[in-house]
Structure 1
Amino acid sequence: MGKSRTKRFKRPQFSPTGDCQAEAAAANGTEPEEDDGPAAELLEKLQHPSAEVRECACAGLARLVQQRPVLPSLARRDAVRRLGPLLLDPSLAVRETATGALRNLSACGGFEVCDDMVTKDIMTPLVALLKECSTGLDSNEMSPQKKKDQNKNSIENIANEAINVLWNICECSSRAVSIFNKEGCLEIVLKYLSRFSTNVDLAISVAYCLQTVTEDNPELLKSFSTPALHVLESAMLSPVSSMEYLLLKTLVAGTVWNLKDIIPSKSQAEIINAILKILSEVLEMDAGETVIQMKEAETQRIKTAAETEDTLQSANGDDLMEDEEMEEIPHRRKVRRKTFISDLLPPTDKELRETIALLTAQQTALEIIVNMCCSEDPTDDEWEELSSSDESDAFMENALSECGGQLLSPLCLSHEVHTALTHHLLPKKIFDKTAFPNSVAVDVCSRSPTWKPLIRKMNTIQCRALVCLQSLVSLLDVDHLGGPAALQTLAQHLSQLLFSQPDFAKHVDFLEAISSALRALLQTMASKNIPQCMTPDQLMTLCTAGVRSSNVGVRVNVVSILGITGSVLAKEDGTLDTLKTIGYSLLEVATKDPCLVVAGEALDALFDVFADGKEAERASVQIKLLSTLKEFQPVFKMKLIRPSTCQAGDMGSIPASRRSPGKEMATHSNILAWEIPWIEETGGLQSMGSQRVGHD
């Protein structure tokens, strides 16, 4: 089972004007203009003497950078270096819009753009801006009340934009994280976080940033003083007055988990229990019911506002003026027509924000739990270095022997985490989240353009819960999971989820998540000799769809499921036809799949299925397994010499223990190098299961 880190999950892209619009434009069939004209004109206006013109130019760029095709043009025209100085512009409005433009650029541009921003030294003015905002908030406490409120709001808004830029860049660039450490940014952002009781939006942005920069950053951990930890503690223990505060507590809990290495041993159990108590409270909430209630509250608020507007108009006895009349009386306030309901909405929709905060908190909670279930794993670079060295073969054989067949499994659960998980009943709460979203809530959201994106967030929570379930099934004892009967019930539940969707193969994220959970569950059931519930027809339906998927993770999972199920059936009577079908499927994957990771997994599965049992021996002869493998051996060796067609982007979607081509190539190269000759010497495949150590 693979290791999943929070940063490896695709996170939402935030911007001052909403989500990145490039995908939406493509979905609507409207492609943004690629003309350099708007970009060039806006960039020229950044140097204009008028602050209003500079502000408008920055606002225009904030919208423009959300159109992916214009990014190369902006890069050619050095947009980052032109926007950078405006972070320290004399005008607060210009600072805010310039920071917003950079926020959108970093959110929509991805890793390459963020790395380029660091190369072009955006961190220097950004850090200076954060320091000035911190000083400005302190000095504002002494200013007259009206000016104080205005300046405080502007400075906090600028700080919020700047923190989001910092978060985006640090998530994509290790150089940015290094600068964060050296420039003492921790003290600055913690000062912002300490204002959580008066500005939760800023605190949430800081919490996101802290969760990113504290992950795998031992240098920064040394900078956490006792007062710094007290700031985190205060935020984590703050009362929940809204869903946004619930999200804040969840994010801070994730940051505290990242700091576990600097927490004294005597306090570990207490801290872990506090973290999981927060996550338990978050997951206990019914998101579907919350969606329904919040949407009803929004509808009622709009209706009440409309009735109030009618009452005011009746009391005044004035008819609604036409636009022409309004133009003749410029100093008189325009009376908006009550038919424009959207005009009655506040600038931010509280109910929608609250609902999004809850859904995001639940997604984050599930991701934190997955990370808790993982120990440190060798990096991809380390695997590649090992696989290319002369000692790689010896290392692989020793690792397999010492780990009982599991190649440095990254899953690990400390006693403190195990105790807290079971004490707060998290396995049950995670199981509940694997169900499909509330159909009424989905219907409510589908009827509102502003609420429709929440459907995807609810589906994402289901996928995260399935990934989380995979980790727990792999780690907890059968008794802690409810016993054999509970595992069989869980298998039936997952099968029902899968096959209730006639087009499940089209939903790649869902298919990868549920196949990962099924793989872990079936492996656990097989190891404990618990009868499995998936029928041969269901198995082949899943695997037929899975092996055709473009997602490497899905293909790896379904091939593994075939191997697990086949190895169980091989020990039973009357399974010859099913074993032949499984054998043909695995041979086709092993010999035809372009990705070495998948082909290697298929080889592993073949050796497991046909390692032992009379039915397996008969099936292997009838499908000509040995001769096919002998013919395939030189072909596979050539694939090892040449780069695999399995792309880096595909690798990122599969479990981390399967993510490094170097690791997999070395493992499966060993299998073909000594397994097939050994089979020839012994004259068959029987008894392989008791003598080979290549797979658990």
Structure 2
Amino acid sequence: MGKSQKKRLMRRHNPMRVPDSHLPKGLESAAESSAKKEAVLPIMQKMESPDSSERKWACVAASNLIQNDPSTRRLLQGKNVVGSLITRLSDSEEEVWIEAAGALRNLCIDGGYDICAEMYNKNILAPLKAFVPKISSALSQFIDSPKSLPENARRVVYEFAENVITIFWCLSETSNKALNAINAIGLIPFLMSFLGAKDKLPAATVTAAAQSLYVLTDDNWPAIDAIRSDVTYISCLLDIVRVNEQSNETPDDRFVMLHVLCCGILGNISPLPPPSPAPNLDVNKDLIFPRLHPVISSVSLDAAVQQVQELVARQANEPLEIEKLSLKHVPKSDHKSSTELELEKLENRLRTVQLALEILTGVYATLPDPVAEAELDASMEDAMDLDQSSRPVAGDLHTSLSLPSLVQPLLTLIQPTALSFPPPSAPSCHPPTTSALSALHVSAFECLNNIFLSLAAHPHSERCADHSAAQTIWSEIWTSLSKVGVDIAVGQEQKQVIWEIAVGVLWGVGKIWKGKLVPTEEHVRILMSICDASTDSQVQVKCIGALECLAQHPNSIDANRVISSYLLSILPTSTSPSPKGTEPLIQAVSALIDIYSDESLPYDVNFREGKFEDRLAQSMEGLRKAVRAINRKTETDLKLRGEEVRDNLTAFIKYRKELRF
């Protein structure tokens, strides 16, 4: 019923880290908007130079131009930079293929699905596969004999390994074909070796391996089985997650992402198979909830945005000069300045929070819908770290009875900032931050959606009686949505995504506190306009569900009349079918039955004076036809629900006819 299901996401570039949907299509427009177009041709020419130092320079320059510059990236793509860089992976000079891997890694992260698909089609997996045993051999040597090579040489290998692993991770999210090819390589032992040696390797390299493992174990049984079959792998993951179990210290930022990813991996492979190093462990209750709650509560979006703005202002005084890139020394931090590293650190912090939200959303998606065992309420409340020791206080959701402590930080994370949705007329000063923020808002809404629909499926008398919490939550959601706005320009597609999820959140809140939320004219109008504008039946159903809940506020007679008239307009007539389609029609009929099931409510006057009974009777044959047309084999659940609502309508009309006032 409307939950945001755990789904395969490109966790770094969906949407693209540097969005370019606001740019006109075509290379000509890219050339017009690129400030570095003159550098493209020399780079591509030197990529094929007989001089290895020039080939290395070209790879380094391409790597830097790809980052944060979608116009120049498009120009490079138009010159087949992907094919040239893949060729350089087999270069005779080590430094060249090291830099080529870094450039391809940046393309994966900043370019998105299309570029990853192009890489796969151009057979990037062949050279990447060859690198795996070489990297494993080098790492084994470093671990066994740490002083066998100087620090600079070891760092090159670490960064190269990180780049290769990141490309694997991005490719595995590109298509099932690419994922199957990566499964065939058998990367799990290679990737787990990094986690096993985490204390001897750089955090960034280990985290890249964990990110790849998290993606590979997301509903992908070859990878899941490979981890579940080795108890040492499970022990390793548990050790990482539990490392700060007895410590009150705040973990280093570099390791928070690793802990979150390992929680996600354990969630992906749970339940843990016997013989398990933790036989009585409930992964969700004992690991995921208690460890991820502090993560999503740890960040101030407004403070992060202020830091980004200050760093970008500083960066304006230290422009990148392609010609001065060093060719004499080994790579250092992917040739990034201290300001760029600080910006990346802030972005990673936001991405970590987003990942934690994604994992929590997946957990709530797996909780049962209405038919559930009786003890679920208690286990959910324990798992969600509820505080039942205090009486409810208006506006303080931490002390509200029977509400997850996750709700308050989630309501904070859905509030847009100055950089979340900048208009095309004033583009973001730092697109990666904007991309991270908008994705984080989406994830927070998805998590709220699943929480409230799970809570609505398991009614709790004290929760329903907490009217102050209901009003606080309702107001916070609409405050966020008013900042998001309904005007959606090119490049602001995430706004549309938020609205489509938010109507589900509103429905979930409405179901919990049905009849307690006072409808406003503006809220009703917006929900109806979204329903009318959308072509997605699921979005329409959520809007109708939210409107149904608002219509049941006993004393809001005018709002009830407006909403009910709208719902009646969705019904078929004797001569025409529903203008909205079958599923919204079924929801609208169900809503009208629910709204007017108690004739003693003040707003029932609308039903009687508006002769709604006659209008419902006129829709009966059209509803029967719509339900009859549902394919029982392909849409079993909808068919059953349609038949149920059809029968309920027949009984409802009979009941209302028999009433005497």
Q: Deviations over 1:591-613 (max 9, x none)?
A: 56566554554454455446674
Taking a change above 3 Å as real, the CA distance of residues 414 and 139 of structure 1, as seen in their structure-2 partners, is farther
Q: What amino acid is aligned across from residue 383 of structure 2 in structure 1?
A: A
CA distance in 1, matches of 2:40, 2:626: 52
Shift of 1:14: 9.5
Corresponding residue for 1:511? 499
Give 1:428's match in structure 2, choosing from 387, 390, 405: 405
Corresponding residue for 1:236? 241
Corresponding residue for 2:470? 488
Corresponding residue for 2:2? 2
TM-score (norm 1): 0.68
Give 1:362's match in structure 2, choosing from 326, 349, 353: 353
Taking a change above 3 Å as real, the CA distance of residues 542 and 194 of structure 1, as seen in their structure-2 partners, is same
Shift of 1:57: 4.8
CA distance in 1, matches of 2:384, 2:251: 26
| 1:27-106 matches, cutoff 5 A | 31-33=29-31, 48-58=49-59, 63=65, 80=83, 83-84=85-86, 86-106=88-108
- Residue segments in structure 2 that go unaligned for 5+ positions in a row: 33-37, 245-249, 319-335, 388-397, 489-494
- Say if 2:166 and 2:208, in contact at 8 Å, map to a contact too: yes
Instruction: Indicate whether 1:419 and 2:382 are aligned.
Output: yes
CA distance in 2, matches of 1:635, 1:43: 60
Corresponding residue for 2:390? none
Give 2:570's match in structure 1, choosing from 568, 586, 598: 586
- Higher mean Cα deviation, 359-368 or 189-198? 189-198
Q: What amino acid is aligned across from residue 279 of structure 1 in structure 2?
A: L
Taking a change above 3 Å as real, the CA distance of residues 40 and 354 of structure 1, as seen in their structure-2 partners, is closer
Q: What amino acid is aligned across from residue 685 of structure 1 in structure 2?
A: I
Corresponding residue for 1:394? none
CA distance in 1, matches of 2:105, 2:305: 32
Shift of 1:535: 1.9
| 1:101-250 matches, cutoff 5 A | 101-107=103-109, 110-111=112-113, 114-115=116-117, 117-118=119-120, 120-140=122-142, 148-197=150-199, 198-224=201-227, 225-238=230-243, 241-250=251-260
SS state at 1:422 partner: coil
Taking a change above 3 Å as real, the CA distance of residues 480 and 347 of structure 1, as seen in their structure-2 partners, is farther
- Say if 1:583 and 1:620, in contact at 8 Å, map to a contact too: no
Give 1:282's match in structure 2, choosing from 295, 315, 329: 295
Corresponding residue for 1:12? 12
Taking a change above 3 Å as real, the CA distance of residues 126 and 596 of structure 1, as seen in their structure-2 partners, is farther
SS state at 2:159 partner: helix
Q: Deviations over 1:547-585 (max 9, x none)?
A: 24447354332122223444x369998987346423345
- Higher mean Cα deviation, 200-209 or 584-593? 584-593
Shift of 1:521: 1.5
CA distance in 1, matches of 2:290, 2:235: 19
Taking a change above 3 Å as real, the CA distance of residues 237 and 50 of structure 1, as seen in their structure-2 partners, is farther
Corresponding residue for 1:685? 653
Instruction: Indicate whether 1:256 and 2:269 are aligned.
Output: no
Q: Deviations over 1:223-271 (max 9, x none)?
A: 2223323332343244655323222221221112112222547332377
Shift of 1:113: 5.4
TM-score (norm 2): 0.71
CA distance in 2, matches of 1:544, 1:366: 29
Taking a change above 3 Å as real, the CA distance of residues 461 and 134 of structure 1, as seen in their structure-2 partners, is same
CA distance in 2, matches of 1:561, 1:162: 47
- Say if 1:437 and 1:458, in contact at 8 Å, map to a contact too: no
Q: What amino acid is aligned across from residue 562 of structure 1 in structure 2?
A: L
CA distance in 1, matches of 2:121, 2:358: 31
- Residue segments in structure 1 that go unaligned for 5+ positions in a row: 307-344, 378-402, 642-659, 690-696
Shift of 1:205: 1.8
Shift of 1:212: 0.8
Corresponding residue for 1:291? 304
Alignment root-mean-square deviation, CA:
5.2
Give 2:521's match in structure 1, choosing from 514, 537, 553: 537
Corresponding residue for 1:497? 479
Aligned length: 586
| 1:524-563 matches, cutoff 5 A | 524-526=512-514, 531-535=515-519, 537-550=521-534, 552=536, 553-563=538-548
Of Structure 1 and Structure 2, the greater helix share is in 1
Corresponding residue for 1:468? 447
CA distance in 1, matches of 2:85, 2:562: 64
Q: Deviations over 1:425-444 (max 9, x none)?
A: 7823432331377899869x
Q: What amino acid is aligned across from residue 173 of structure 1 in structure 2?
A: S
- Higher mean Cα deviation, 362-371 or 187-196? 187-196
- Say if 2:257 and 2:352, in contact at 8 Å, map to a contact too: yes
- Say if 1:207 and 1:251, in contact at 8 Å, map to a contact too: yes
Corresponding residue for 1:397? none
Q: What amino acid is aligned across from residue 233 of structure 1 in structure 2?
A: L
- Say if 2:18 and 2:435, in contact at 8 Å, map to a contact too: no
CA distance in 1, matches of 2:111, 2:282: 41
